[in-house]
């Protein structure tokens, strides 16, 4: 993997995947505070780069003969505090559970160590026909190895 792409994708750590993102004007409302729906964007980037760092290529998985796709099934979000323009955020993503046709991830968004957002994301694994599909054993192993210690 290109080292620059890896650096842009964050890093796998014992605490889970960590991705750093800056808050831009486009992320805020008229008061300079991050608009609540924009946190979903930050968390999606965290999940996508988590997969990338695990070596999971979503496009290849979806295009293969036994296509698999990850879709958000349910998300529980606790908004603890607000971020503002120019803040530097850390998005942490860690596996809670990987089994059957489901993946459960825990995500946090922090600023200077302070917890802003906590989320539990339930991901469904589906095939090309939109039907639930069991996670293959190698993927379960990859996700389980990436759980926070």
Which residues form the catalytic set?
29
Distance from the first to the final alpha carbon of the chain: 26
CB of 16 closer than 8 Å to CB of 92: yes
Please give the C-alpha separations between residue 16 and each of 10, 44, 71, 73, 108, in angstroms, as whole numbers: 10, 15, 20, 21, 10
User: What are the residues whose beta carbons fall under 8 Å from the beta carbon of 22, sequence distance 6 or more?
Assistant: 86, 87, 88, 89
């Amino acid at each position: 993997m290109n080292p620059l792409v890896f650096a842009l994708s964050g890093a796998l750590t014992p605490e889970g995947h960590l991705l750093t993102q800056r808050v831009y004007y486009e992320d805020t409302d008229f008061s300079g505070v991050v608009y609540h729906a924009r946190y979903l964007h930050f968390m999606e980037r965290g999940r996508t780069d988590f997969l990338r760092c695990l070596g999971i290529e979503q496009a290849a998985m979806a295009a293969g003969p036994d296509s698999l796709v990850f879709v958000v099934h349910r998300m529980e979000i606790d908004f603890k505090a607000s971020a503002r323009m120019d803040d530097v955020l850390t998005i942490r993503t860690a596996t809670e559970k990987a089994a059957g046709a489901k993946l459960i991830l825990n995500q946090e968004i922090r600023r200077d160590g302070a917890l802003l957002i906590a989320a539990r994301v339930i991901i469904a694994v589906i095939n090309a026909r939109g039907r639930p599909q069991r996670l293959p054993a190698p993927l379960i192993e990859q996700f389980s190895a990436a759980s926070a210690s």
